[in-house]
């Protein structure tokens, strides 16, 4: 076994990425305050070719040095839109026919491993302290929860987003086929 060199990874160029088929979901950032978390969302969205990120409220937008530092250029490849409120983003998505789900610990939430992801849906991830805002929950058809067994009540929002985006990508079977071990 040897570590692959970057040129062996067959990554897309920016132009190829722009034309490539995207994973047909939108991730909504509801008042995410950390610029490093925002950058991590971009980098993970790039990795799984997520359709777009919707940045809402106090969530910072590119171009920004701190976002770019974590995104490593993904802030230049992943499509994004800014909305003054998460409610406005939800209204726009509903008008475009998207289903909306919260990634949050609420009554009736479905454990991630039991959730069936579908194309043309969107997933709201919330503020690092307060989670998804109560005012946006009425726009959601349901909620997904990541099962946890430690002492903390939550996972870092960008880590949580990475887990959710991977599960979407895996379930929608958009990635290249790999050998089973």
CATH number for the domain spanning 61: value is: 3.40.1280.10
Q: Is residue 87 part of a domain?
A: yes
Note the pTM of the prediction, 2 decimals.
Answer: 0.93
- State the DSSP string of 80-115: EEEESSHHHHHHHHHHTT-EEEEES--TTPEEGGG-
Total number of domains in the chain: 1
Q: Is residue 5 part of a domain?
A: no
Q: Is residue 4 part of a domain?
A: no
Query: What's the rounded Cα separation, in Å, for the pair 78 and 22?
Result: 10
Decide if 37 contacts 156 (C-beta within 8 A): yes
| Residue 31, domain extent | 21-147+154-171
CB proximity list for 70: less than 8 A, separation 6 or greater:
35, 36, 38, 39, 40, 42, 43
Q: Is residue 11 part of a domain?
A: no
Structure tokens at 5: 């060199």
Structure tokens at 38: 């925002």
What pLDDT tens digit does each residue of the chain (181 aa) get? 999 998 899 999 999 999 999 999 999 999 999 999 999 999 999 999 999 999 999 999 999 999 999 999 999 999 999 999 999 999 999 999 999 999 999 999 999 999 999 999 999 999 999 999 999 999 999 999 999 999 998 999 999 999 999 999 999 866 555 555 5
């Amino acid at each position: 076994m040897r570590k692959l060199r970057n040129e062996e990874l067959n990554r897309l160029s920016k132009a190829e990425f722009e034309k490539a088929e995207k994973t047909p979901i939108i991730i909504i950032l509801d008042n995410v305050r950390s610029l490093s978390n925002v950058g991590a969302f971009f980098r993970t969205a790039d990795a799984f070719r997520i359709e777009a990120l919707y940045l809402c409220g106090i969530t910072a937008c590119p171009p920004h040095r701190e976002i770019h530092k974590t995104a490593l250029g993904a802030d230049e490849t992943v499509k994004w839109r800014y909305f003054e409120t998460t409610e406005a983003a939800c209204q726009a998505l509903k008008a475009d026919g998207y289903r909306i789900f919260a990634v949050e610990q609420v009554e009736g939430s479905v454990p991630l491993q039991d959730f069936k992801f579908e194309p043309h849906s969107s997933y709201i991830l919330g503020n690092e302290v307060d989670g998804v805002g109560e005012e946006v929950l009425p726009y959601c058809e349901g909620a997904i929860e990541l099962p946890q067994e430690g002492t903390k009540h939550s996972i870092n929002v960008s880590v949580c987003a990475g887990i959710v985006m991977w599960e979407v990508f895996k379930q929608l079977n958009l990635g290249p086929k790999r050998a089973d071990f």
